[in-house]
Amino acid sequence: MMENKGIFVTLFIVVTLGVGWVYYSQGTFQTDIPDYEVEATPPLETSEGYGVSSTHPLAVKVGMQVLKDGGNAVDAAVAVSYMLGVVEPYGSGIGGGGEMLVLPSGNEEPVNYKYKEIAPPSGGSPTYNFAVPGMVKGMEAVHEDFGTVEMAQLLDPAIQYASYGFQTDAFLTGRLKGAAYRMRIDELDNFYPGGTAIEPNEKLRQPELASTMKKIQEQGSDALYSGEITDEIVSKVRGITKEDFESYEVVKNEPVQGEFAGYQVYSSPPPLAGVTLIQSLQMAEMLDIEQTKGHPADYIHLIGEISKRTYDDRLSEIGDPRFYENDIQELTTKPYSEELASTISMDKLSDQYEVNDSEADIEDHDNTTHFVVVDKNGMMVSATHTLSNFFGSGRNIAGIFLNDTMRNFSISGLPPNNQEPGKRPRSFTAPTILTNGEKVIGIGTPGGKRIPMVLTQVLTQNLLFNEPIEEAIQAPRFYIEDNNIFVEKEFDKGVRRELEARGYNVYLKDSPFYYGGVQALVVDRANTTMYGGADSRRDGTWQVNQE
């Protein structure tokens, strides 16, 4: 446990020349957190260390500092979550939600925390497609159960980087340019100085966000769910009430489970996509997909056929369990996966399988952020946070980008994903932890509807093809929908001809955001080592240490 848990006193000193910030907190002196001098560390030759893998290097740095100072994985996860809302405001934040899978140290069972956004319990259909956010309540709930460091201290790094600024990167500039058409640029001078997106290597300050986080630091979740921030949001968003905020509750339950490559797989329960991922992995194994190694056309075809069935099954079988009965035990069994796989042919393409049933699916909301944390006692956290679309609705109130999660409900209006008061819409997110007793893997990715397919590619290549996790993460990716294959890099002409002969249309789509941003940590007790994986498609990195 971190020392000096109690009265929180902080003296802030701004450091010039872009070095970062320093603070003194009851005897804990932290210095030199530079903006981008954060690189992956070598693997540890021990399984007793700690680590963080995240899509932004400053989030890694902040999480590692919490762990170094004695905090546990949940403490670090809280600090990382708030930090990501500052440095990746397009990907997550106070105005959105997420889910966190916690694998405690020892023999305790994993716990899933679901703090996804919900439709207003009052029955309204808010402007901007805004749903009641859950991130702040979620951080409070998981911290109450597992945290050891004062919550106020964990918010502090995010507040300071919002107040004094951080060095922007090309990813943020690119997302700002891409979202400019739906942003209120005249109200976002810090993001669009002079009416154009802030350039890379500039200093971005978010004083309104810092002020909001300070209120949360002082008042807890009440600041957002029953205080003046609530009043401001309700006054500017029609169709949502203060009572909708006040009634929000975090759901704590068991993750879904399955078996793959000798591992127990734990992932996010409905209405999230853990079932879809587990089905995909189990089908890949039972179809002997490892036999396709060295035969990329066969591998791509099998992944596509598997995904068509699991994605289609999701539409009829997965919904918010408070409104729809999900037979989780049945859906994740190997016989169920075997039945789904029974119609797959290596020679024919399947048709009549659906993927899209919401505006978010059709518009291709691919915005999320993922991170993994492990502490020296072996507690692991795998978490995915989102605003739905990049920057959510684009509307910013009190420094908070509001989500547009209501677009995730089915456009058909039919169960199980129809809009109902207090309901959580379906999501493709799937924070996951795998363990075989000797080895533990925490993994996840952003990427919208590509999430289960991307994770299936990475995990089959890692655990069935025996490729190192970093190589599996960096390997070229693809996404299949209907008979269209979107590829990150051009195939060998022979592979392309083989796929086209089977009836596929192959398109090059090389956007780094399209294919997600996989982050992972691995604790290998059998080989006494610890290491991570981070996706170069975004600004991800990982670090491990044993001090």
Beta strands in 46-183 (DSSP E): 50-54, 97-103, 111-114, 166-167
- The phi-psi region of residue 391 (left if phi > 0; otherwise alpha if psi is between -120 and 50; otherwise beta) is left
Helix axes 151-164, 73-87, angle to 10 degrees: 20
Residue with tokens 């989500």: 403
* Residue 220 assigned as binding residue: no
Catalytic annotation on 368? yes
- CA-to-CA dists, residue 432 to 184, 267, 441, 509, angstroms: 36, 4, 8, 27
Alpha-carbon gap, residue 369 to 447, rounded angstroms: 9
* 367-374/50-54 β-pairing: antiparallel
Alpha-carbon gap, residue 327 to 383, rounded angstroms: 24
Helices (H), 220-266: 222-225, 228-236, 242-246
Task: Point out the catalytic residue in the list 168, 173, 368, 456.
Answer: 368
SS3 291: helix
Alpha-carbon gap, residue 7 to 279, rounded angstroms: 48
Alpha-carbon gap, residue 333 to 174, rounded angstroms: 42
Cis geometry, peptide bond prior to residue 121 (ω within 30 degrees of 0): no
Beta strands in 240-366 (DSSP E): 251-253, 256-260, 263-267
Q: Are 395 and 226 in contact (CB under 8 A)?
A: no
Distance linking the first and last C-alpha atoms of the chain = 15
Q: Which residues pair with 256 in a beta bridge?
A: 267
DSSP 351-395: -S-----BHHHHHT--EEEEEEEE-TT--EEEEEEEEESTTTTS-
- CA-to-CA dists, residue 199 to 189, 359, 519, angstroms: 13, 31, 26
**Cβ atoms within 10 Å of 129's Cβ, excluding its own:** 22
Residues contributing to the annotated binding site: 448
Residues contributing to the annotated binding site for L-glutamate: 448
Residues annotated as part of the active site: 368
